[in-house]
Amino acid sequence: MMRKLWTERVVTFEGKYHQLHSAGINPRPIQKPIPIWIGAAAEVAVRRATRIADGYLPLRPFEGGWQATMDKVWSWLDEFNRPRASFGIEGRLDAGKGTPDDWRNTYELWRGFGASHLSVQTNGLPTAAAQLDRLREVRETLDL
């Protein structure tokens, strides 16, 4: 429904949970299509992301760790006939703790999974200046 509203002048929709009759938004977004990413931890939500979304923001791994999680993601993409390369995955790196070796390992983990994006957080650092310094350190360490 969101995609229709973003791209069509007038939308009529009748679904199980929502109904729209001659609805529209104005102005419509310039970017078409607008990518929809789903952040999820529950298997049902991650499966939904592989079926309908443009990307997935992993919030925590399934039982068995990240490899088990990504194995399921890839199997669901195959089930829905979606090429892996067309589906974004955003890995996460918490640079507020750990060492440069830990950051490299996390980066390589997500790179090995074919992640299209990597977010770097600086949780726990006391000041904006400390966070900016850490982000510079991560960039230099990972050669980004």
Segment 12-65, tens digit of pLDDT = 999 898 899 999 999 989 888 899 999 999 999 999 999 999 999 999 999 999
Are residues 42 and 19 located together in one domain of the fold?
no
Are residues 92 and 40 located together in one domain of the fold?
yes
Half-sphere exposure of 38 (CA within 13 A, CB side): 17
Are residues 116 and 51 located together in one domain of the fold?
yes
Supply the pLDDT for residue 137.
Answer: 96
Are residues 14 and 82 located together in one domain of the fold?
no
- pTM of the shown model: 0.83
Are residues 39 and 97 located together in one domain of the fold?
yes
**What percent of the chain lies above the pLDDT cut of 70?**
100
pLDDT digits (tens, 9 = 90+) for 89-98: 999 999 999 9
Three-state DSSP at 34 gives coil
- Residue 144 pLDDT > 90, yes or no? no
User: 13 pairs with which residues across the strands?
Assistant: 20
Are residues 29 and 40 located together in one domain of the fold?
no
Structural domain including 124 reads: 35-142
Segment (H or E) for 71: helix 65-79
Domain count, the chain: 2
Are residues 41 and 78 located together in one domain of the fold?
yes
Are residues 52 and 94 located together in one domain of the fold?
yes
